[in-house]
């Protein structure tokens, strides 16, 4: 099933509007292109709304928060409210500071997202649990009951990455072993997972299936890239090459475990 998801993305070539952070943006654009999607990266408020309305999916990322970028995110969300354009919220740094955490909670209170994602610590912080963050890196694993509660509360799919990637919608939960540890040396890899997930959503894949396909893709691609004996620099290239192989079925993909 996961293989057909990425073939569909390559066929549809969805336009993905990223309102994202400066650190992750280059990798996110490369991942989108490797999967056959089309990235556009702008947070400029005067054009953010019109660009978002013309996109097939919108990604709002909380990393490197700046006043103009947040204004652009607000314009994009307002412009797509009530439409069928899938929107993804990435909780980068949730729990790092009170202003950022409150900003994310406000967005969730005002808008409906197809998916909300973060690492385990960020999702735990959103749920009001103690969370250990070092910068935007977290070591806390979110509790499955908190994951499910958030999914029901916000009527969305919630994905928490970690040693085991866990995800839940209001009715189901799923899990899969996380990607290779070499991903930790690739800045923006977690944000780029959001790009892959949005690509699947924008190609018409249902959120629960899209989440399982995205985490399976990153697990398989990172493992293949690491097996080639790469250092941090060449790992990036090998990882992108492996993502491209998923479009043609050349990359075996694991299936996530799901429970009702």
End-to-end CA distance of the chain, in Å? 18
Domain ranges of the chain: 2-245
Note the pLDDT tens digit of each residue in 221-260: 999 999 987 788 899 999 999 999 988 888 889 888 765 5
pLDDT at 139: 57
pLDDT at 45: 98
Helices (H), the chain: 2-12, 25-34, 45-53, 67-80, 98-110, 120-126, 144-154, 189-202, 207-227, 232-246
Q: Give me the chain's average pLDDT, please.
A: 93
In the predicted model, is pLDDT for residue 117 greater than 60? Answer: yes
Q: How confident is the model at residue 133 (pLDDT cuts 50, 70, 90)?
A: low
Q: What are the residues whose beta carbons fall under 8 Å from the beta carbon of 101, sequence distance 6 or more? A: 94, 95, 125, 126
Superfamily for 2-245? Ribokinase (3.40.1190.20)
Note the pLDDT tens digit of each residue in 176-231: 988 899 998 899 999 999 999 999 999 999 999 999 999 999 999 999 999 987 78
In the predicted model, is pLDDT for residue 82 greater than 80? Answer: yes
Give percent of the chain with pLDDT exceeding 90: 79
Note the pLDDT tens digit of each residue in 32-60: 999 999 999 999 999 999 999 999 999 99
CB neighbours of residue 11 within 10 Å? 11
Q: How confident is the model at residue 100 (pLDDT cuts 50, 70, 90)?
A: very high
Q: How confident is the model at residue 28 (pLDDT cuts 50, 70, 90)?
A: very high
Confidence (pTM) = 0.94
Q: How confident is the model at residue 1 (pLDDT cuts 50, 70, 90)?
A: low
pLDDT at 247: 85
Q: Which residues of 235-247 are buried (b: 16+ CB within 10 A; e: fewer)?
A: bbebbbebbbbbb
Give which of 28, 19, 32 is closest to 190, Cα–Cα: 28
CB 180 within 8 A of CB 219: yes
């Amino acid at each position: 099933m996961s293989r057909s998801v990425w073939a569909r993305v390559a066929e549809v070539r969805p336009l993905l509007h990223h309102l994202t952070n400066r650190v992750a943006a280059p990798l996110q654009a490369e991942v989108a292109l490797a999967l056959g999607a089309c990235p556009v990266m702008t947070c400029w408020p005067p054009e953010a709304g019109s660009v978002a309305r013309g996109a097939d999916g919108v990604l709002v990322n909380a990393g490197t928060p700046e006043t103009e970028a947040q204004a652009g995110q607000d314009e994009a969300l307002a412009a797509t409210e009530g439409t069928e354009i899938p929107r993804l919220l990435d909780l980068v740094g949730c729990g790092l500071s009170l202003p950022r955490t409150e900003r994310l909670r406000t967005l969730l209170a005002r808008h409906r997202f197809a998916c909300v994602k973060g690492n385990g610590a960020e999702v735990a912080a959103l749920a009001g649990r103690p969370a250990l963050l070092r910068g935007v890196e977290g070591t806390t694993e979110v509790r499955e009951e908190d994951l499910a509660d958030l999914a029901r509360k916000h009527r969305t799919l919630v994905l928490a990455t970690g040693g085991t990637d866990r995800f839940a919608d209001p009715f189901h939960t799923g899990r899969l072993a996380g990607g290779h540890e070499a991903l930790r040396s690739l800045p923006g890899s977690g944000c780029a997972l959001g790009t892959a997930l949005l690509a699947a959503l924008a190609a018409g894949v249902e959120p629960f299936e899209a989440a399982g396909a995205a985490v399976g893709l990153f697990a398989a691609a990172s493992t293949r890239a690491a097996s080639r004996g790469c250092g941090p620099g060449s790992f990036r290239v090998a990882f992108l090459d492996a993502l491209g192989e998923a479009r043609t079925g050349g990359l075996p993909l694991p299936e996530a475990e799901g429970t009702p």
